[in-house]
Structure 1
Amino acid sequence: MPEFSETPEPQTDTDTGQVADAYRGNWVDTMAPAWSRPYLRLSRADRPIGTWLLLLPCWWGVTLAAASDSPGLHDLWIAVGCAIGALVMRGAGCTWNDITDRKFDAQVERTRSRPLPSGQVSVKQALIWMSFQALVGAAILFTFNWAAIKLGIASLVLVAIYPFAKRFTWWPQVFLGLAFNWGALLAWTAHRGQLEWPAVCLYAAGIAWTLFYDTIYAHQDKEDDAMIGVKSTARLFGENTRRWLRWFMMISVALMALAILLAMTEQANVLKLVIALGGPWAFGWHLVWQMRHLDIDQPENCLRLFRANRNTGLIPVLFFAVALVV
């Protein structure tokens, strides 16, 4: 299993505008022009893990669809377009999240250094930046087929609702999962031209995965969240977190395997099917590894394991890509 290759350090120099939970020495803080840094921080460009977690279900969708069908050059554009789209739409979503949460963020140690609560940008500037990113995302989306375009537009409802979920439900991670895994539906449809059951199962597998990793993430803030009245699955599960994570892991692996079986029912290539099914198997073992290392009372441990999910999500992509070329 992989070792932690990077160790985040607390950032306390608020004069530089650095965000507390970003890696010290990240490219935004060291290479980006000074005027652009607050906007890039709003987009979480200094913390790329969220972009990966939004992108990976897209790559699950397009690689599984191509492996179960006939791959073409257009699939390469779908993969690249989804990468650009994930970058800008994650940025737009995070900007929207920070606009709605700016008062909460000012009361939480980990988030008070973000651009809005720290005064690096105004709400008006943030709204303009969010709109620009959304327009770039729309330009990418409109290169896909109409079925995928409709799905992309529909996802905006979830993006708009998510920041408010923590105020009315103990399960805000469900809303994050609904939004962050939408790309599995969109990318599958961009390849196939229609939404089908394998994509739905893959989407549901991603939602269970999100519940796994974002519950771990939420344990960083559980004490501050309790003080300000913000709800999360971390607070809901408490000491029973491991039992819940085990269920989320099993559900995610089972649904991913079901998606593969449904996608490849017409495949005569048994080797292709076996390789594809290796994806959820290896994916599940990586989640087991995370649980073995988890300490819910150590925020740095939770953050490291949360970030390890980039590798977790890349595992099915690798297996599906190999199955695609067999």
Structure 2
Amino acid sequence: MTTLSRPDLSDIHRGDWVDRRLPPAWRPYTRLARLDRPVGIWLTLFPCWAALIQASHGFPDLRQLAVFSLGALLMRSAGATVNDIADRRFDGHVERTRFRPLPSGQIGTSQAFVFLVVQLALAASLLFFLTPYARLIAICVLPLVFIYPLCKRFTHWPQAVLGAAFNWGMLMAWAEISGHVPVGAVLMWAGAIAWQIGYDTVYAYVDVKDDSRLRLKSTAILFGRYGRACIGLFYVLTIAAWSLGGCLLGMSLPYAIGMLVITAHLAWQVWRIDLARPEVNYRLFLANILTGVLLACAAFIGTW
């Protein structure tokens, strides 16, 4: 009889480029900032790039592209550090997170706090390159960054708070380029939140057993066996918001073709979801990098 081995769900992969190429003192901070797992950075960047393209009605200024890209990198990394500091007592009991730097004792909490201050200082330096209105919008995201890690203790909707913070750069892009945030841009942001609730719920099913045991909350725990239908509903809301938002922003007919492609991709994801197989759900979560690429491409062809 053949025994199937249990998949390794840890998000720390020993012997990767961090272990092979970086000095030992750098490795915990690289992992704390999630530079070894850049999926979150890409999922932050592509919606932001889409908004920059829409606001510019074409290819954005290279300076703006660089500032917003660095900002997404730094704030995503800072958010990951805040999350790991807040969850340091839980992560050691979760299969996926037990080898992270804080629960595994590679660095202490005080060192993580110092690292967080450095990350936030670097992110704050980018504010000098923004207009006053864009700076104000940027500062408003900070409460969400610090509230999110605590949400799983008192609400089943931490994914909604994360989605609002993750995609805040979309609002900033319009504030920077146009000096205002139109209704269409808000709808694009709302669609990104619905998208994130969907794909992050897929991700949350990887941890659902450990989170339930630790009495933490998530949309995966809330949806239970109805997860496929609920995720599908949020993907429908995503397409509706992005389609209407794009229409209000004056996107041309090719944008609609891009929306059809994204619809097909999200439908494929829903069809492939298997709530009993965490390794499948994790791969589907990663597939949303392509969703972000498609959104940015749809925004670009929509400006033709």
Alpha-carbon distance in 1 for matches of 2:260, 2:15: 36
Q: For residue 177 of structure 1, what is the aligned residue in structure 2?
A: 163
Q: For residue 151 of structure 1, what is the aligned residue in structure 2?
A: 137
Q: Does 1:274 align with 2:290?
A: no
Q: Give the TM-score taking structure 2 as reference length.
A: 0.93
Q: Does 1:48 align with 2:38?
A: yes
**Per-residue deviation, residues 259-298 of structure 1 (Å, max 9, x unmatched):** 111111xxxxxxx611122232221211111112211111
Alpha-carbon distance in 2 for matches of 1:25, 1:56: 29
Shift, 1:320, TM fit: 1.6
| Structure 1: 4+ residue segments shifted above 6 A | none
Alpha-carbon distance in 1 for matches of 2:52, 2:12: 31
Secondary structure at 2:41 match in 1: helix
Alpha-carbon distance in 1 for matches of 2:249, 2:133: 19
Amino acid at match of 1:243: A
Paired residues of 1:23 and 1:47 also in contact (CA < 8 A): no
Secondary structure at 1:34 match in 2: coil
**Per-residue deviation, residues 215-244 of structure 1 (Å, max 9, x unmatched):** 000000111111110001101111101111
The unaligned stretches of length 5 or more in structure 2 are: 1-6
Q: Does 1:308 align with 2:282?
A: no
Shift, 1:23, TM fit: 4.9
Q: For residue 164 of structure 1, what is the aligned residue in structure 2?
A: 150
Secondary structure at 1:35 match in 2: coil
Shift, 1:72, TM fit: 6.9
> Are the structure 2 counterparts of residues 25 and 275 from structure 1 closer, same or farther at C-alpha, using a change threshold of 3 Å?
farther
Q: For residue 5 of structure 1, what is the aligned residue in structure 2?
A: none
Q: For residue 298 of structure 2, what is the aligned residue in structure 1?
A: 319
Which stretch shifts more, 200-209 or 182-191? 182-191
Q: For residue 249 of structure 1, what is the aligned residue in structure 2?
A: 235
User: How many pairs were matched up?
Assistant: 298
Alpha-carbon distance in 2 for matches of 1:253, 1:186: 22
Alpha-carbon distance in 2 for matches of 1:34, 1:120: 10
> Are the structure 2 counterparts of residues 120 and 289 from structure 1 closer, same or farther at C-alpha, using a change threshold of 3 Å?
same
Q: For residue 206 of structure 2, what is the aligned residue in structure 1?
A: 220
Alpha-carbon distance in 1 for matches of 2:105, 2:273: 35
Alpha-carbon distance in 2 for matches of 1:23, 1:308: 19
Alpha-carbon distance in 2 for matches of 1:80, 1:154: 21
Paired residues of 2:255 and 2:298 also in contact (CA < 8 A): yes
Q: For residue 275 of structure 2, what is the aligned residue in structure 1?
A: 296
Alpha-carbon distance in 1 for matches of 2:163, 2:300: 24
Identity value in percent: 42
**Per-residue deviation, residues 77-136 of structure 1 (Å, max 9, x unmatched):** 222222111111111111111111100111112111100011011111101111111111
The unaligned stretches of length 5 or more in structure 1 are: 1-8, 12-19, 265-271
The equivalent position to 2:53 in structure 1, one of 51, 63, 68, is 63
**Per-residue deviation, residues 12-44 of structure 1 (Å, max 9, x unmatched):** xxxxxxxx3145654323222221110010011
Q: For residue 3 of structure 2, what is the aligned residue in structure 1?
A: none
The equivalent position to 1:103 in structure 2, one of 89, 95, 118, is 89
Alpha-carbon distance in 2 for matches of 1:23, 1:280: 35
Paired residues of 2:53 and 2:59 also in contact (CA < 8 A): no
> Are the structure 2 counterparts of residues 112 and 24 from structure 1 closer, same or farther at C-alpha, using a change threshold of 3 Å?
closer
Q: For residue 33 of structure 1, what is the aligned residue in structure 2?
A: 23
Q: Give the TM-score taking structure 1 as reference length.
A: 0.87
Amino acid at match of 1:312: T
Amino acid at match of 1:235: I
Alpha-carbon distance in 2 for matches of 1:77, 1:213: 31
Paired residues of 2:59 and 2:300 also in contact (CA < 8 A): no
